[in-house]
Structure formats: C-alpha cells, structure tokens
Structure 1
Amino acid sequence: MYFFYINMNNLIDTIKKIENILYSLERILKQECHNLLKSKTSNEEILELIKRKKILFKKLIILSQDRLCLEKEYNIFPPYESNNKLNNYWKKIINTCLILRKLNLKNKIIMNKKFYLNQRFLELSSSYKKSVTYNLDGNLEI
C-alpha cells in the first residue's frame, strides 16, 4: 500500500508539473497577443517567445509520456474520479487547455490580419511605383 501511495504521489507531481507548464504557456500566449497588437514589435521579441513555447512544449510532451506510463502501470486513468486530488488537478488542466486554445486562435487571427494588411500594403505600394511615363525620346516607360 505504501508503494502505491508513493507512486500516486509521482503521478500527482507529474500532473502538477504539467499544470505549471500550461500556466507558463498561457502567460507566453498572452504576451504574444500583446506583442502582436502593438504596432512596433521587433521580430526578435516574437522569435524569443516562439523559442520559449517550443521548450515548454518539449517538456510537456515528456511529462505527458511519464503521466501515461504511470497511469498504465497503476491502472488509473483520467478523469481520476476515484481520487479527488487527481480529479481536481485534472479539471484545472482541462480548463487551462481550453483557455490556451482560445488564446492560440486569437493570436492566429491577429497574425493573419497583420499579414493580410502588410501584404495588401506591399501590393498597393508596388502598383503605386509602377507608373506609365514618357521618356525624353517620347517612348513609354514603366
């Protein structure tokens, strides 16, 4: 029984770490949204956020694999209804994942709008520069 309790603590610790990583991802996505909304954001800032997200996703994948191994070994699976402590942590994780999904969608929409506006500006700018004029010899120039 003591052995099972220790391993249950390992599972609880793993789920807590997953929860912390998800909260960190939430903060990064909010910061990314803020940076995308600013008119003057350097590419370095956004690239740094992307690097941090990649690192966190790698950690999340490793922890999720550990969680799956522990669940399989001790035959306990989400939503952990038999254990209140695990169930509460799991509900927090689900809620955080839903928030992350909304933030990610919002960031994608902002990026697409910015890209579209920048692309449209470049198209208008290039058509503005292309003007038809006559040179000194009377021939058309583009």
Structure 2
Amino acid sequence: MMASNGLLIIPGDLTDKRIVDLLETHVTTALAQSPRESCHAFDVSGLQREAVSFWAAWHGDDLLGVGALMDLGGGHGEVKSMHTAQSARGRGVGSAMVRHIVATARERGYRRLSLETGSMDYFAPARALYARHGFAECGPFEGYRLDPNSVFLTLAL
C-alpha cells in the first residue's frame, strides 16, 4: 500500500537485518519502560506465528516503521509490535500503519480490533495515536489481565 506521502507499506521480511534491528530496539525500549511481566511486545519469533501478519513501512530504502495484526479468532484482531523509527517520528508513519492495519482487519471481516500498550508517560504518544484513530479504553482481552502498567484499547469495526 502506497500512502500519500510516498510511504510504502508492504509485508515485512523478518530476515532483513534492518527490520530485525528495529524490532530489537522496539522490544529493548519496551522492556526499559515496563516491568518484564508487563511487556507484551513481540520479537521476531512472536511475529513468525501463523496467526500474525507483519508489515514494514519504507520510504525508498529507509525503514521507517513496523506493525502487525494478530488474528485472535471470532472476528477479533490485535494490533502488535507497532514501532516507528526514532528518526521518522512525527511524519505520519504510525498513522499510516494504523490505517493499514485497520483496513486489513476490515477486509478480513473482523468485527473488533484491540491492543495493549503501556500506561507510563513514554507510551502517551502511542495512546494518543490510537485515540485519534478511534480506539477507546476497554478491559483486558484474550488472556491479558488487569495490570497497572497496561492500557487496553479497542475499536469496533
């Protein structure tokens, strides 16, 4: 999918070192901000699950971000491992990836899309991004439990 700003969102190659490095940054940063038991970011092995679709956002040869959609069954999907490269923040990469994931979920007939993110200040921009795209707070879903370090969001499709 080509976004209006020249951003290309395509299936991500989990063997591409640039993607692996960005995912390692994502997981390392999440772990630095959250207690290990409250960190639910997927690494490369988590993204290789059959139920997960994974995309990378590119501008030319520059990797700007990643995102994934996990099929939870019953018409419910989960946004996983959304991360924008530090150098690309504020350029609409996250919004483009959210729009891509939501559009894919709708095409697949999902009725609901949910996600978990951190409650700490570091995650405030992510929570604001999802809120701008219509996600609202909800309770834990699909095996998550109440956790003061987590915020759960959902979007009816």
Of Structure 1 and Structure 2, which has the larger fraction of its residues in strand?
Answer: 2
The answer to which structure, 1 or 2, has the higher relative contact order (CA under 8 A, 6+ apart) is 1
Normalised TM-score (structure 2)? 0.24
Normalised TM-score (structure 1)? 0.26
